[in-house]
Structure 1
Amino acid sequence: MKKTLQKVLLPIYLLAFLAFPAHADEGMWTLYNLPKAVYETMQQEGFQLPYGALYEGQDAIKNAVVNFSGYCSGVVVSPDGLVFTNHHCGFESIRSHSTVQHDYMLNGFCAKDYSEELPNEDMFVSFMVSQQDITDRVLGTGFYLQGAERQEAIIDSLQNELTRQAKTKDSTLHVDIDAFYEGNKFYATTYQDFTDLRLVFAVPKSMGKFGGETDNWMWPRQTCDFSVFRIYANPRTNGPAPYSKDNVPYHPKHWAPVSMQGYKAGDFAMTIGYPGSTSRYLSSYGIRERRDATNEPRAQVRGVKQEVMLRHMRADEAVRIKYDSKFAQSANYWKNSIGMNKCIDSIGLVNQKREYEEHIKSWQDSTGYLKGELDFDKMKDLYAKRSEAMKTFTFFRETFLGTSEFNTRAFRLNYMELQGPAEKPKKQYVEFKDNSAEWDASLDKEVMATLFRNYRQHVSAKYLPKFYRTIDTKFGGNYAAYVDYLWSKSALMKSGRKLYVNRKSFQKDPGTMYGLDLLEVMDALRTELLEHADEIDRQERLLCDAKIHMEQDLPHYSDANFTMRLSYGQVGGFDLGGRPSGYYTTAESMVEKMKKADENVEYFAEPIMHQLLSASDFGPYQDKTTGKMQLCFLTNNDITGGNSGSPMFDGKGRLIGLAFDGNWDSLSSDINFDHRLARCIGVDIRYVLYMMDKWGHADRLLKEIGAQ
């Protein structure tokens, strides 16, 4: 049961706590058991399809929505398996196919026929087949009377058993079990994965990432944030198959009809996708920890790291291509952490949640429910005990995990599968493949040295790995000199070289010793955090249980956990201090920003884009009511990370856009949904099609999609 450990080792995205009853525009609802009260409200808001159209039958909307490679969402839009997702979701694929000579990030990409569609390693789409509640089966094992390892074994055993049963019907299926409602419920979800996924279309980065970090999480927005892929399948079965040149385009059960009809303020809007993690059942103590021990150190370290990265990327185009995706991933939640903390403090969220907990405590005293089990004083004490270790772990993770190729290899070294004869230990080895095309030594080395110094400045001496003594005694405190020594003397960076793990040369290798020093500190932090993790998790689970029982006359949704969810509401803007936001942007507003590229390079766009967005007539792509070319729009749909690429549907189940961002004014919505301010930013599907048509001349794709 990996998620138990992840709650400790990754940012603490525990299930969150709502201080207010659910609103029509709030909620991430599972589809298979969507409350009838919620469906009835959807109908009142303008949803025109029957209840079963969401989940049941071959033509159910869920059958067009995909988990995109385990980090985003997407939607199938044609009978030949075309998938729309966001540009930033396809960013790594676009980057990996790019070279200085053929820079698809800079220049975009459009496959003119099937033969030009580009395959991708380690990418997939996953369709949800079905979902069921197996809570009684899990808890019937005495689940919460067991230790963490035994709990993991129970989940793994059930998951394997259910997968075996699913495979008797279809060998391409598998089952995942996930905890819902802070572990008070468990659902089993059956999936079918397709691993032959090929890049078909991408706009230039100037459009797909227009506004860059300047506009990230902001409104108004003009970013043309989409990319297009195609699912390929076994030619005999139309089922999943590893990549093969003989595979053919997949013919899906259902695909989303693409609408050219647009929207207006107040129209029904629905988003279906795979939101990653929210924490709305989280206690006030958990929110404080999230602010101080996760968001604050994450933003600090990433800010330092990104300054180094950006300098190297701007100096060398080849380096930029290698690191564009890495920088974007780092910067996204750097800014999110800053914005979330700002919102937490500006609305006094910690105090709001504490007051609500007093309300629960009073209810608990009057009813006796969970009396003697849910203990707010104990919760406060437990969080306080792990506070320093949690903050340090964030500094450690952001400094050493995945921040350079050397660090990555130093950690992987201890988990790699040994090669060579088992009966001859001295001939057993590990070997790193040559991936030098993915990193730059100069950038990585400066990042390492800079972050070494930064880590020391922010954590207690007891959490310093032993190699800091080496830096002081042998290198006179010169971090860069120590990093140069590691890279030059260690065999870790010798790609393609066999590293014999049971020989003295390996054990004395400075990279091996460095990695062991890091593991020692990480294990110490893990031990310290695990000491209180189970009881904190239990208290948070009981808190969620108490809230649901206290409000049992209301429907409640579970926090996001990267399973399929539906959110709904209306198209419309928000009001911030008497300033109406507007609910869509136009081509004119983008051209105005483009003209400011001399002041801000993130508003640069090629001359052809100026020309296309300055057209006097946008034909069928302009809105029939406003007469404008509408680019991006707002709804009050409830989204979070993972929803990127989620289809946005109108009341008839037609695709009107792709969700790609939330707004700065409500970045605390992962832990408290503010129905006044929380908005979903989507790219208008007509803008998507316009770029495919007028820039990409992708006639074959437009014909395949058949937008109406």
Structure 2
Amino acid sequence: MRKLFLSLLSLCALGAHADEGMWTLYNLPTAVYDQMKQYGFQLPMEQLYKSDNAVKNAVVNFGGFCSGVVVSPDGLVFTNHHCGFDAIRQHSTVEHDYLLNGFYAKSYEEELPNKDLFVSFMIEQKDVTDEITAALKGVKRSRQGHVVDSIENAWQKTIRQQDSTLRVEVKPFYEGNKYYCTTYRDFNDVRLVFTVPKSMGKFGGETDNWMWPRQTCDYSVFRIYANPKTNGPAEYSKDNVPYHPKSWAPVSMQGYKPGDFCMIMGYPGSTSRYLSSYGIQERRDALNAPRAQVRGVKQKVMLRHMRADEAVRIKYDSKYASSSNYWKNSIGMNKCIDSIGLIQQKRQYEEKISQWLSTHEAPEAAGLDFSKMADLYQKRMAVSKARTLFIESFFMQDQLTYRAMRIQWNMRVEGPKDKPKKQYHLFKDNSDEWDFDTDREILVALMKNYREQITDDTYLPDFYQTIDKKFKGDYEAYVNALYNKSILMKSDKPIYFNKKSYKKDLGVQYGLSISETLEKINDARQKLNSEIAEQEKLLCAAVLRMEQDMPNYSDANFTLRMTYGQIGEYTLGGRPSGYYTTARSLWEKMQKADQNFEYFAEPVMHELMAQKDFGRYADALTGTMQLCFLSNTDITGGNSGSPIFNNKGELLGLAFDGNWDSLSSDIFFDRQLARTINVDVRYMLYMMDKWGHADRLLKEIDAK
């Protein structure tokens, strides 16, 4: 939703800003489109969503966690380097380290397939609120998700009978006040085509993450493959051919200037703009703070091992990047929440809602009670913090715990169905994905830290008693015993779970202890979750009714959205940020690599960035090659890899980050400070040309 609370001084003038928001396209408000035209947008409204060559037809959900854009008639896809990071890592070895050295497939035959990677095109979206609401009438909130799932499955079956390549998703919008059904077409054969070295694709690492100015060349290139007979989705086959879309995004070499219209389409993951002040407080104290604390402990161990061994670095690079991204985000968000007094601002806005409800009819918000909401959140605060500490410490953080929990949760049963004693579980050898010493040390550190951080012994797993009694408080000895003696760590060997010895195994006992504690925590939260969710839904309904004459957008939920705005800088502390970075600024940072290893780049990169003449890749206005640029568009996690377009629907680059000064934007969009950091497509093409010598790709893209 639009920001409801800009500042204490403007509290009485709260309301929609048409250039803020993550808008669904099928029902885009006319007022929003009119504002886009005032900013300079030149395409007719139907070319956003409805027409055969609609802009949205080129935008993809990349892998279920990022966004991307099709840029050629042969199915070439641009996304961020950090979105393709794990796929690149999986193809990397010490001998052929594509993550470190980059990769370019010089022919279709050299393009690398990726297990479990897919892209999805949104076909259509529609409002199904009436159907879902009718089905949910009289159903307890705790059961409503099951009902929605059953409806989705029925609709899925129906649409598959019409077209087997389609699937549907039914999701709640506006805190469950509405439901939309979205139809997708998935392509499961997606191959790696090109990536720059990590030194460029992740330049600046955690030092520069969420910061401006940025010089990161954050992109990678993949290709969609299709059934050669139908040009439709197909599972991987050597016989598949490049996908030929009806339309794709044209790539612009014309650049941008301050004030120019821009538009981003992609799949923002999750925002909480309607969230109550009490929910924001819980997020600050029970989610962000403990998440940052635990990840800081884990990352310290990972980084030390990664820097000491190249093989370990390859295995953990993606894990470390994933962890550290929202470690820093959590720290930055809490900083912003406190610096602008966001909780107090939201409380004052809630008082305004209460006053409005006292004099207006809003039956859909009947039952909203801020006192009740405050009490419910207060009761849930401690257990929410315990859950965050627990999940961050034990949920899939190391291989032993991963296996110990998997085996408790209906893991696949092997062996004869009629002979229980011969049935077994089997863990395949995945030693190429983790390191023995690194994993053990991570688990030791997290076990110690959890016990130090948890304040209620109710949520202390009973394996701690085993550590105290049998191992005399020695965490390392306990973890060594788990890794060295537990049957869970025997890869490619049957684990017969109906034998008496199974339940006596130390790893099995550890997994049972973990599962029981998580169940205890979840049960404690579940008693409050439904009531809190209902109050948040009523709060959203009240806002929608109070602001019914204004355009409203729903919180992000990883469905296709459009956000628009203008190219431009921001000012903080009286200092203008500048709206783009240059090759020279990158070269200057590279010279500091002896002080900060995250500024390292190969000698060839120094040479490329030290050029005086960048030819067709130089900006006509500034005369230099621009690397990254700012826009005042509205994004969040999931938007990584989203295309940013100009007023003609031509590709200017890819969104890849937000800025540190507005990291509370998931819950509060600060119109003065919030900016999207984008990588310039001319920088991307320059690297394909001068470093990769990828002539066939440049010809295929045909940038103008």
TM-score bucket (shorter structure): over 0.9
Matches within 5 A, 1:265-414: 265-370=258-363, 373-414=367-408
Q: Which residue of 2 aligns with 1:90?
A: 84
Contact map agreement 2:18 2:31 (CA 8 A) in 1: no
SS at match of 1:430: coil
Distance 2:18 2:362 in 1: 29
Matches within 5 A, 1:126-525: 126-143=120-137, 145-148=138-141, 150-370=143-363, 373-415=367-409, 416-459=411-454, 460-525=456-521
Q: Which amino acid aligns with 1:113?
A: S
Identify if the C-alpha distance between structure 1 residues 589 and 185 changes in structure 2 by more than 3 Å, giving closer, same or farther: same
Q: Which residue of 2 aligns with 1:569?
A: 565
Contact map agreement 1:234 1:240 (CA 8 A) in 2: yes
Contact map agreement 1:25 1:675 (CA 8 A) in 2: no
Distance 1:567 1:320 in 2: 37
State the shift of 1:152 in Å.
Answer: 2.5
Given the alignment, which residue of 7, 18, 42 partners 2:4?
18
SS at match of 2:687: helix
SS at match of 1:429: coil
Q: Which residue of 2 aligns with 1:5?
A: none
Q: Which runs of 5+ in 2 are unaligned?
A: 6-13
Distance 2:208 2:146 in 1: 45
Contact map agreement 2:218 2:656 (CA 8 A) in 1: yes
Deviations 1:98-146 (A, max 9, x none): 0000000111000000010000001100000000000000001134x31
Is 2:114 aligned against 1:116? no
SS at match of 2:81: coil
Q: Which residue of 1 aligns with 2:525?
A: 529
- CA RMSD between the two structures: 1.1
State the shift of 1:425 in Å.
Answer: 1.1
Q: Which residue of 1 aligns with 2:11?
A: none
Distance 1:142 1:202 in 2: 48
Deviations 1:355-412 (A, max 9, x none): 0000000011112535750000000000001111000000000000111011111111
Distance 2:553 2:240 in 1: 40
Is 2:629 aligned against 1:629? no
Q: Which amino acid aligns with 2:557?
A: N
Distance 1:498 1:431 in 2: 5
SS at match of 1:573: coil
Deviations 1:271-305 (A, max 9, x none): 00000000000000000000000000000000011
Contact map agreement 2:77 2:223 (CA 8 A) in 1: yes
Given the alignment, which residue of 577, 580, 583 partners 1:584?
580
Distance 2:659 2:3 in 1: 21
Contact map agreement 1:16 1:279 (CA 8 A) in 2: no
Given the alignment, which residue of 661, 674, 677 partners 1:678?
674
Matches within 5 A, 1:540-559: 540-559=536-555
Is 2:55 aligned against 1:69? no
Q: Which residue of 2 aligns with 1:47?
A: 41
Distance 2:159 2:4 in 1: 36
Contact map agreement 2:3 2:669 (CA 8 A) in 1: no
Q: Which amino acid aligns with 2:531?
A: E
Identical columns (%):
65
State the shift of 1:421 in Å.
Answer: 1.9
Q: Which residue of 1 aligns with 2:8?
A: none
SS at match of 2:351: helix
Distance 1:158 1:293 in 2: 34
Q: Which amino acid aligns with 1:305?
A: K
State the shift of 1:16 in Å.
Answer: 9.0
Deviations 1:183-242 (A, max 9, x none): 000000000100100000000000000000000000000000000000000000111111
Q: Which runs of 5+ in 1 are unaligned?
A: 1-14
Distance 2:220 2:668 in 1: 31
Distance 2:19 2:506 in 1: 55
Give the aligned length: 693
SS at match of 2:552: coil
Identify if the C-alpha distance between structure 1 residues 425 and 699 changes in structure 2 by more than 3 Å, giving closer, same or farther: same
SS at match of 2:122: strand
State the shift of 1:18 in Å.
Answer: 2.7
State the shift of 1:24 in Å.
Answer: 3.5
